[in-house]
Each structure stands twice: as structure tokens, then as C-alpha cells.
Amino acid sequence: KKRNPHQPEFVQAVQEVAEDIFDFMADKVQYHEQQILRRIAEPDRVVSFRVCWEDDNGSIRVQRGWRVQNNNAIGPYKGGIRFHPSVNESVLKFLAFEQTFKNALTGLPMGGGKGGSNFNPKGKSVREIMRFCQSFMTELYRHIGADVDVPAGDIGVGGREIGYMFGQYKRITNQFTGVLTGKGLEWGGSLIRTEATGYGAVYFLANMLAHKGDDLVGKTAVISGSGNVATHAAEKIVQMGGKVLTLSDSGGFIHDPDGITQAKIDWVKEHKTHRRGRIEEYVAEFKSATFHEGKTPWGVPCDVALPCATQNELLGDDARLLVKNGCIAVSEGANMPTDLDGVHVFKDAKILYAPGKASNAGGVAVSGLEMSQNSERRAWKEDELQQMLKDIMQGIHNSCLTYGAQSGGYVDYVKGANIAGFKKVADAMLAFGVV
Ligand code: NDP
């Protein structure tokens, strides 16, 4: 806290990891001597820059952009770009720190980074978004590269924005390389990248249930968010026999007791992504649902919960309510959606609880596969990629079991993920000496 006085999200993320790592490190002198935890928690560099663009009225706007390159011990920096007014250095440092462990867990050679801007894409015209993306890349291009740092999408950055940024990178450098992931299929993108984070979070959930001899058939699910991760998590829950009761956005949540079917999910995708609409308009379309303004969905009784919107959207009291209402499993689609109090509630109740760095790693895993395909200059088939995604999620589940299995059959997935991710990065750093 003293080193990072105005960075609460970053301090929270480091604290959560440190709580688990201290025990693990107790008898491992080399990690202490080499100050490994402290070194991982100090980004290799933070680049902060001005992003200047012209709006449709001809006024000049000035925004701030960042790229946090946290750690490249096991591969090029890799992590998304976020455009949202809440973006600041603390948020991006926490995301880059988490990303380092998540990427290590996938088993693929990727280091950790994150970037973004406090630019708010809401209410902007397509041309304004294009001009902003071009200006953002005009500075970012000098810090990234296919073997250096490979950004992707995140909140507010989807296929369209990746297209504008890739186009600008190509124009400036005259190079067509795999410098960004999440690209369109015609220009180097990978099949199932769009679906991978949401699908992966549900595969992870299914793995946790299967370890207990259970499955998703007939289970009710409460999901927050209605963007990329939330809608694809909902889709996979439905495909695996579950019933989705809620979705949300920053305006509130909708509760549909009849279940949010595939046809309804398709409507939400079209409405939120292409029409840029609000989730509250769902209730005019589907009469079985109710809208709850300004609220999160955690009070709706359910078997499983998937927070898929943003950080710190599920607080201690929400966690207590979920447990009280009989929720048996939580799989995080978003990054750090549960605050530290909530994490302790889930751990104390000994329910199945997967932290985002384990359960939402499917997206970056398929991004890693996109990088491989770009290097090979070929595209793999959908069924090959689906199988690779399933295998990677199962591999992460197994890593969590290795380091998180406790007496009495309880698995502490947070501890398992933190130790497995840390060990891989730490051992690589030890090999490099003090650098
Ligand atoms: P999108 O921009 O597609 O969707 C974000 C959703 O979350 C929207 O429904 C948005 O509502 C809601 N939301 C955003 N901020 C807030 C807020 N402050 N309060 C309430 N709701 C909010 O983003 P993604 O689905 O891609 O990302 C969601 C989460 O998943 C993030 O934490 C991201 O870091 C994480 N993640 C994403 C990956 C990916 O592959 N896309 C990979 C791994 C993690 P509204 O429309 O009102 O803004």
C-alpha cells in the first residue's frame, strides 16, 4: 500500500495473491532471497501517453492512454486493451498483474500485459471511434510487436476496434504480422476466439462440478453483464443443459424466470453489440422478464453464478446472499469481479469457487492459438480449436487441483491458481538471474 498509495485495485490484486503465496514460499529460500514476489509485483514498465483526436463537431479531445508491460519471463507481453471511463493506472496494473498468472496457467508461452484508455465509446459515432483507435495506435505501435507485446480486446474493444487499430499499425509499419489478436477471420483471426472466454468459464465450471460427480443439467444460473463474455457464457450454459435466469449491464439486471434461451441470447447479442442498446429493453421484447434498475443480480436464488461484467461487482454481502440462497458454484468470467471480503466468504463456505485468472483464461488461450496460427501462416479448423480450448481449461483445472487440494476433499481453486501461475513465472525469473 505504501509503494502504491493511490492504486486500490492493484493493491487488492497483489494482496490476494500474496495471501496464498506466503505459505507456499515459506520453505523455499530461493524465492525469498531473489525477492521474486516483489519483482513480479513491479511492472517491467508502464507507458503513459496522450491520445488526441477530433470529434464530429471539429472539437479537439484529449484522452490518456497506457500500456502496462508487467512481465515477459515466459513469453511476449500479452493482454487486452480496455476503453472505459473508469480506466486508470491502478486498474490496468491490476489487470496486467492478474494476466501474468492467467497466461502462465494456460501452458502457452505468453507474458502479462494490459492497456487501454479512459475514452468512453458510448454515444460516439463509428467515425469518432475509428479516429480514436487510429490515434491510440499511432503511439502504441512503437511499444508492441508480434514477438514483443501482443494486445487484444477487452471491455469496449471488440472486433471493430481491433480492425481499426490493426489497420493503423499496418499503415505505419508496412508489416502484416500477428501484432494483435481478436482479428477478423479474413485477416488473420482465429475461429472461436469470440466465444472462448465465456465458453471457457463454463467448461471450467463443468470441470469443478464433474470433480464432485455433478454436472450442469437442470442447474439454474445467474449471470452478470451482457457483453462478449456474459452472452457466450449464457450460450454454453444453455448448450450444457442449464437454465440462465439473469443478464445485466451498468443500468441494472433483467430476471427471466422462464429462462434465457438461445433465441433470446441471440437477440441480446444483436441488441447490445450491433444496436448498442440497453439490457432494460429486453423486458419489452420478452414479457416473462422483469428489469431491476441500478441493481446487481446476486439476490436471485440459483445453483451457479457467473460474474461476467467488471471488477468488484460482487461484494461480501452479495457473496453471503448467494451462499445463503444455496449457490454451490461460482465461476468468474470477468477479472476480479469478487472483492476480497467476497472471496473469503466463498472460501469459508467451501463452495466451488473459481477465480477469473483460472476460469476466464479461455480467451487468452485462444489468443495464444491465434498467435501460433499467424506464425505458421495457416488457420486451424473449428473442431480442432474447440478441443484445444477444452483441453486447456481441463489442464488449468488440474493445475488448480495440484496446488489447491485441501484435506476433506475441498479444493481451494484460488490458492491452486495463484501458486501454479506464480511457480511457473518465478522459476523462469530465477533462471534469468537478477535482471
Ligand atoms: P464487453 O464490453 O463486451 O461487456 C462488458 C459488460 O459488462 C457490459 O454488459 C457492460 O455494461 C458491463 N459493465 C462494464 N462496466 C460495468 C460497470 N462498471 N458496472 C456494471 N456493468 C458494467 O466486455 P467483455 O465481456 O469482453 O468483458 C467483461 C469482463 O470479462 C471484463 O472484466 C474483462 O476484463 C473480462 N475478460 C474478457 C475477456 C475477453 O475475451 N473479452 C477475456 C478475459 C476476461 P454496459 O453495456 O452498460 O457498459
Instruction: Measure the CA–CA gap between 208 and 380, rounded to whole angstroms.
Output: 28
- Choose the residue to mutate in 106, 199, 249, 278 for probing ligand 1, maximizing ligand atoms within 8 Å of C-beta: 249
Instruction: Measure the CA–CA gap between 372 and 384, rounded to whole angstroms.
Output: 14
- The x, y and z cell numbers of residue 4, run together, are 502504491
Task: Verify whether residue 114 is a known catalytic residue.
Answer: yes
At 23 the pLDDT is 86
H helix or E strand, kind and range, residue 145: none
Q: Closest Cα to residue 330, out of 233, 192, 218, 217?
A: 233
Least confident of 17-31, 137-151, 321-335: 17-31
**Residues β-bridged to residue 304:** 221, 329
pLDDT in tens, 133-168: 999 999 999 999 999 999 999 999 999 999 999 999
Q: Is the pLDDT of residue 174 over 80?
A: yes
- Whether the CB-CB separation of 2 and 11 falls below 8 Å is answered with no
Q: Which residue, chain included where needed, has cell 423486458?
A: 283
- The x, y and z cell numbers of residue 294, run together, are 441500478
Q: Is the CB of 334 under 6 A from ligand 1?
A: yes
Q: Closest Cα to residue 141, out of 167, 117, 108, 107?
A: 167
Least confident of 18-32, 70-84, 108-122, 174-188: 18-32
Q: Is the pLDDT of residue 111 over 90?
A: yes
At 273 the pLDDT is 81
Instruction: Measure the CA–CA gap between 350 and 347, rounded to whole angstroms.
Output: 5
**What architecture (CATH level 2) is domain 43-178?**
3-Layer(aba) Sandwich (3.40)
* Strand ranges across the sheet with 243-249: 290-293, 252-255, 243-249, 220-224, 304-307, 329-331, 352-354
pLDDT in tens, 261-290: 999 999 999 999 878 899 999 999 999 999
Q: Is the CB of 156 under 6 A from ligand 1?
A: yes
Q: Closest Cα to residue 205, out of 249, 231, 246, 242?
A: 242
Least confident of 1-5, 170-174, 243-247: 1-5
Q: Does domain 195-359 have CATH number 3.40.50.720?
A: yes
* Strand ranges across the sheet with 149-152: 45-54, 60-71, 112-117, 77-83, 149-152
* Span(s) in the chain for CATH 3.40.50.10860: 43-178
Q: Is the CB of 229 under 6 A from ligand 1?
A: yes
* Span(s) in the chain for CATH 3.40.50.720: 195-359
Q: Is the pLDDT of residue 355 over 90?
A: yes
Ligand 1 atom nearest residue 82's Cα: 34
At 407 the pLDDT is 87
- Report pTM: 0.95
* C-alpha 162 to ligand 1 mean position (Å): 16
H helix or E strand, kind and range, residue 45: strand 45-54
